[in-house]
Structure 1
Amino acid sequence: MSGWAIVAIIAIVIWGIVQIAKARAGIITDEDGNDSYVPRDDGAGRGELESARREIEQLRERIHVLERIATDDNTLDARERARISAEIEALRGAEDTKQHDASDKEDLSK
């Protein structure tokens, strides 16, 4: 075999490997020699996408639950704030009642 025959065989093998790699990647060549990408529609990719979407939705639900727990009124701090707020409102109500009673007594004495 001559040197040129070996070069030709190597070139043909390399060309074949490149064509196989392009086909696996979804690259096709039209009649004019232009390469274009054609996305493959395989069931595995679609299944993985649906699985990822379900997982994201589950994670969103978990985050929603955790946010609700973090901001819920059943925590010790929230109960303490509610108790103090109710006590303040009760004292305000008592002061308003005292002021009301005092103004009523003044009106009655006139």
Structure 2
Amino acid sequence: MDNIASWIWVLIPLAAIGIAPFKMWLRLKEKQMDSQTNLAAEKSAQYAQHMERVEERLRVLEQIVTDRGVETAAQIEALRDRPRTLTDVSAGNR
């Protein structure tokens, strides 16, 4: 029993000394997690900005299509399909 008691007095200071590196490791892991969180937040903000630009472009395209865009495209195609006359070519109309 004396042998175990003497070892306890040795193990207690060793445990106290071993806590310091563990605390340092915990601080390092906390900093790593903070860094990863900040990086994820930054990427999320960039993605949100990108999606806003894509949505704005989509709104413009929707507006073009719904605001006579189809009719305009049909008119352009009709002009392309129309046979050219000699007067059109000499006048510079294409």
Q: TM-score, normalised by structure 2?
A: 0.46
Query: Would you tell me which structure has more helix in proportion to its own residues?
Result: 2
Q: TM-score, normalised by structure 1?
A: 0.41
Q: Which has the larger radius of gyration?
A: 1
Query: Would you tell me which structure has more strand in proportion to its own residues?
Result: 1
